[in-house]
Amino acid sequence: MQSSKRRAIITAMTGASGAAYGLRLIQRLAEAGVEQHLLLSRAARVVLKQETDIDLPEATSQTVTALAEQLNIPGKYLHNYALEDWFSPAASGSAGIKQMVIIPCSMGTMARIAGGMSDNLIERAADVILKEKRQLIIVPRETPLSSIHLENMLKLSHMGTHIIPAMPGFYHKPETLDEIIDFIVDRVLDHLDLSNPEAKKWGS
């Protein structure tokens, strides 16, 4: 029997630079009517304030309200959880969530996921996605990359993780910062099978 349940995705942001990528993905998924389980590390909240002047409250319901207002999106399909909320849907494979994106993904988060360590809900959710052989996408943002970073990426790649570094192309001749951000977010949406028909493709 086919389920009529709304499509759900775990969207996580960590403390790497590049908060604008995460915000844009949240916005685009909300516009597509996708239910999102939002996970934000403490460092992500610091980076958001530093890079975008968005100062999110600690309370999960207030975080949803603030993001919805800032991004001009409906908040009814957004859910935010505390990092120690082990009873949230993201913490168990039985919840049936099949996709997770970590954007941006810090090197520390990536290392702990690659090592199987789950000290917070973001790492636990990624561990669940991997053990259930579902789709994990990470958008690492760091430069230069050390051998440790590269080894962790290779390890996760061997486990089936989609690694989409925040390395925008320029063949579409971007004229604004938004177009550079959209280049990466459109690639993430492609891998989520939610392609943007307005995205500029190679050869188009």
Q: Is 198 within a domain?
A: no
pLDDT at residue number 4: 43
Average pLDDT over residues 189-204: 80
Residue 201 lies in a domain: no
Q: What is the mean pLDDT of the chain?
A: 93
The DSSP bridge pattern shows strands 162-163 and 78-80 to be unpaired
Report yes or no on 204 lying in a domain.
no
Mean pLDDT within 166-174: 92
Domain around 63: 8-191
Q: Are 92 and 118 in contact (CB under 8 A)?
A: no
Closest CA to 80 of 65, 98, 69: 65
For residue 158, being part of any structural domain is answered with yes
CB contact at 8 A, 92 and 129: no
Q: How many domains does the chain have?
A: 1
Is residue 200 in a domain? no
Q: Supply the pTM of this predicted model.
A: 0.94
Confidence of residue 204 (pLDDT cuts 50, 70, 90): low
CATH number of the domain within which 117 lies: 3.40.50.1950
CB 90 within 8 A of CB 37: yes
Residue 185 lies in a domain: yes
pLDDT tens track for 91-125: 999 999 999 999 999 999 999 999 999 999 999 99
Does 114 map to a domain? yes
Residue 62 lies in a domain: yes
- Give the amino acid at 81: Y
What was the pLDDT predicted at 53? 95
Strands (DSSP E) found in 65-166: 78-80, 99-105, 135-140, 162-163
